[in-house]
Structure formats: structure tokens, C-alpha cells
Amino acid sequence: MIKYCRNCVYPETKPDLTFDEEGICDACRFANVKDTTDWESRREELVKIFNKFKNKDGSNYDCVIPVSGGKDSTYQTYMVKEEFGLNPLCVSYHLPEFTDLGRKNLENLKRLGVDCLEFTPNPEICQKMQKIALIEFGDAQWPEHFGIFTVPVQVAVRYNIPLIVWGENPQAEYGGPLEDSTNSYLDSKWCKEYGTRVGGQSNSYFGPEVMLQYGIDRKFLNPYIYPPDDEIKRVGVTGIFLGSFLKWNIKNQLEKVRELGFTLHEGPSEGTFTNYENLDNKIQGIHDYFKWLKFGYGRSTDNASIQIRLNWINREEAMKLVREYEGKLPEKYLNEFLEQWNMSRDEFFKIADKFTNKELFKKDSNGNLLRDELGNLEKTNYDNF
Ligand SMILES: [Zn+2]
């Protein structure tokens, strides 16, 4: 029996999530903390930080903003530039497999009036690493977890820009130890501890250097290796989460970014019932699917839980949506990736089975996982009964 939070729909099998004696998870508890936070004084603190780091004579950028083709990036850039009057350098690390919608939204973001550096990694190496990571760690998106956290920090070091403005604190929205949720600063320790877990995926930390063991040359690992601590110190690189200073509310945020020309998905994105996430990245569906196999939850659960906390939907509706949308094979781009990886569907299923937590899913009398005609698994239970 999988136990679920009594307020949202998170299962106890989600890494780093804890339940209190009332059966409520810490992501829900933090939502309450957000309601009682003095956001006015947080905002003042943010203004102080921005004043401290602002480039005084215009000879350099005021900060780095790591961006993608997603809604948070547009929101961050708008807030930093228009609300607080800074001149940011936007830095986008994205995969060769960028969706058309991701491209459209990134171009729209640039039209907010910012300079933007785009970094795409060597596709051949990236594909090799995705395949290795899928087979070894059950996470094809693994190289990207490093790239999105590392490249903006490398740019900050090389351009001598000390401030990096990240978006939400993923620990706050998605749950994790409460003390981490109130931490505004990001350092290499944070990157190591949480950077690879952002999708709630990896139980243990495998640094990029692990790829040396699989025959990837050191010279190809540069986009994935965090700058040395002395370099970070020399420039004074400091990371802050905007979500620690401004109340992060998806509903308001969506309204704002749509006004700014951000385009949503037509119909639900893969693996969920919403149309506002997972727009820019083809490999996300495969990542989310493996998260479901390993931990019994995916993007639908993430989205539904956040919507419950915002009183957007109730728990009953959330459960219905999760049952309907979650855990489906990520067919949309699967064939494209299998071709790139030179991998058969059978091999893919074998890897999927290897990483599936068999305790969470229905099995036949011989103990083999039960799949429906589309190849999908069913969980043993979807609620606390
Ligand atoms: Zn909860």
C-alpha cells in the first residue's frame, strides 16, 4: 500500500518528502508558510540585494538569468528587467532537441529587451550520455540536469557577473526539508545536493565525471562541470531564488506571461493534464515516465498537488486527473529518441523494467508486471484505501 498526503496527492515514495503526524507532506506545510510570510519585507530585501549587485557604470550586466523556453523564464526576465530595472544577461542552456514551442517562447523572451546567450551542447556527445544515463541511472535527462545548473554559473564566472537570479526554489514548490525551502542562496554544495534531483529523480549523486568510466573524454564534459570554488569566490558568484523573495503563484504568473506573448501548449502536455509546463523539451516525457516507474508519481501529480494548494482544484478532482493522465508511455518523441540511441523498443522496455519499483505496481500471479494493451502499468493503489 502506497501512502498519500492527505491534503495533496503526493505519495510517500517521493524522494526527500516527509509526512507529519497528521499525514500532511512538507510541501503542503510550506504552502502555509508562504501564506504567512511577510512578502513585503522580503521584497525590500530583494531590492537591497539588487542595489548591491547592480553594475554602477553600465560597463557590465547586472545579473545572469538562466532561461529556457518555459513560463518561469519569461516571468523572471520580466520581473528583473521591468519591475526592478536591472539589465540582465539571459543564458539559455538547451538541448539540440528543443521544441518549436520552446523556440518560439525563447524568441518572445528576447523581445522583452534583453541580451541572450544560447548554449547547445555537442549533440553527438549529448545523445551518447543520454543513452548511458538511461541504461545506468534510468534517467535520460541526466546530462541536462547538470547543463542547466552549470552553464549559467560558468558564464557568470567568465563574464565577471556576480549575481545569478534563479526562478522558484524547487525545494519550496515541490517539497523537501523545510530548512532548505527558506534558503535563498545557491552554492556548489546546493548544486551537488539538489541540482540532480530537481525532477525528483536521482537517489544518489553521480557527478559528470562518472561519464569518464563510460568512455566519454574529459574534453567533452566541459558544459557539465561546475566551475572551481576559487573561481566562484574570485567573482563572488551569488545565486538567489526569486521565489524566496516574491510569492510564486502559478495562476498570477500565467496571466502575466500570456500578456507578454508567451504561448501555451495546445491541449495538455505529455504526461499531464496541464498545458503550461513541459513545453520546450522533448526528453521531458521520458524523464517523467521513469520518475513514475521509480517513485510512483509523475508530472500530473506535481501539477495536481500544486493546484490543490492554490485551491484551483480539490483533492477528488486531482485524483481523477492523475489517474487519467499519469504514467502513460511517453510516445510523443519516444521513437525519435530510440532512433538516435540506436535502441529497440524491447531494449527500452527492459531498461524500464529494471528501474521500476515493483512494489508500487500490479503484478500477475507469477510476479510479473501487468501491462495493458498499450504497455502501461497500473499502480497497486491510488489513494489511502
Ligand atoms: Zn501534500
Binned at pLDDT 50, 70 and 90, residue 36 comes out as confident
Report how far ligand 1's centroid is from the alpha carbon of 372 (Å). 30
Report how far ligand 1's centroid is from the alpha carbon of 35 (Å). 15
Q: What is the pLDDT of residue 133?
A: 94
In this model, does residue 124 exceed pLDDT 90? yes
pLDDT tens by residue, 342-365: 999 999 999 999 999 999 999 999
DSSP per residue over 210-223, as a string? GGGGGT--GGG-GG
What whole-number percentage of the chain has pLDDT above 90? 67
Report how far ligand 1's centroid is from the alpha carbon of 382 (Å). 14
Report how far ligand 1's centroid is from the alpha carbon of 6 (Å). 6
Domain 36-244 = CATH 3.40.50 = yes
Report how far ligand 1's centroid is from the alpha carbon of 27 (Å). 6
pLDDT tens by residue, 45-81: 999 999 999 999 999 999 999 999 899 999 999 999 9
Report how far ligand 1's centroid is from the alpha carbon of 30 (Å). 9
Q: Are 297 and 360 in contact (CB under 8 A)?
A: no
Report how far ligand 1's centroid is from the alpha carbon of 186 (Å). 25
The C-alpha cell 497500473 sits at 378
> Comparing 159 with 281, which gets the higher pLDDT?
159
Q: What is the pLDDT of residue 240?
A: 87
> Comparing 293 with 35, which gets the higher pLDDT?
293
Q: What is the pLDDT of residue 171?
A: 59
Return the domain boundaries, the chain: 36-244
Annotate 273-296 with b (16+ C-beta within 10 A) or e (fewer).
Answer: bbebbbbbbbbbbbbbbbbbbbbb
Pairing relation of β-strands 185-186 and 88-93? unpaired
Report how far ligand 1's centroid is from the alpha carbon of 31 (Å). 9
Report how far ligand 1's centroid is from the alpha carbon of 5 (Å). 5
| Sequence-ordered strand ranges (E) for the chain | 63-67, 88-93, 115-119, 163-166, 185-186, 238-241
> What residues contact residue 328 under an 8 Å CB cut-off, 6+ apart?
271, 289, 374, 376
> Comparing 3 with 198, which gets the higher pLDDT?
3
Report how far ligand 1's centroid is from the alpha carbon of 221 (Å). 38
Q: What is the pLDDT of residue 180?
A: 53
Q: What is the pLDDT of residue 363?
A: 94
In this model, does residue 162 exceed pLDDT 50? yes
Amino acid letter, residue 269: S
pLDDT tens by residue, 171-220: 555 555 545 555 545 566 666 665 554 444 444 567 788 899 999 999 99
Amino acid letter, residue 2: I
Report how far ligand 1's centroid is from the alpha carbon of 19 (Å). 8
Report how far ligand 1's centroid is from the alpha carbon of 309 (Å). 8
Report how far ligand 1's centroid is from the alpha carbon of 175 (Å). 8
In this model, does residue 289 exceed pLDDT 80? yes
pLDDT tens by residue, 206-260: 778 889 999 999 999 999 988 888 888 899 888 888 988 998 888 899 999 999 9
Q: What is the pLDDT of residue 202?
A: 47
